[in-house]
Amino acid sequence: MNVLTRGKIDFVGQRLVDRYTTVLVVATGVIGFLAGFITQSVQATLVVDAIGVALTALVCVPSWPMYRRNPLKLQPRHAPEDNNDDDDDSKPPAPKPKKTILARLARIFF
């Protein structure tokens, strides 16, 4: 089973897994509660909830192909540019930002 060993899903697949997990756990919790309430048995509640957790794990834990339909397209890797131009003295120095009244007050009080 290559599905169990790959383990890579895309972002859309992650959203699907999150939705499926939430829906399955809540639905089996409600069904388990109703089954236990009707039969007046905590054991029935726990059995239904355990089956729900196992079903949720079976659906959501392996990286099924439906979770890998939208692979991430990465940009190609570029070589770093060499920007060591020390001879460029023609640029004037950047002007210092003016301090506002708010900045001066913040400096005084804090």
Quote the pLDDT of residue 40: 96
Q: How many helices (H) and strands (E) does the chain have?
A: 4, 0
Residue spans of the chain under pLDDT 70:
1-6, 82-90, 110
The residue ranges of every structural domain in the chain are 2-67
- By the 8 A CB rule, do 44 and 36 touch? yes
What would the pLDDT profile of 46-71 be if each residue is shown by its tens digit?
999 999 999 999 999 988 888 888 88
Q: pTM of the prediction? A: 0.61
What is the spatial distance between Cα 87 and Cα 20, in angstroms, rounded to a whole number? 61
From residue 90, alpha-carbon distances to 83, 87, 96 in Å are 16, 9, 18
Q: Which residue reads 């905590």 in tokens?
A: 42
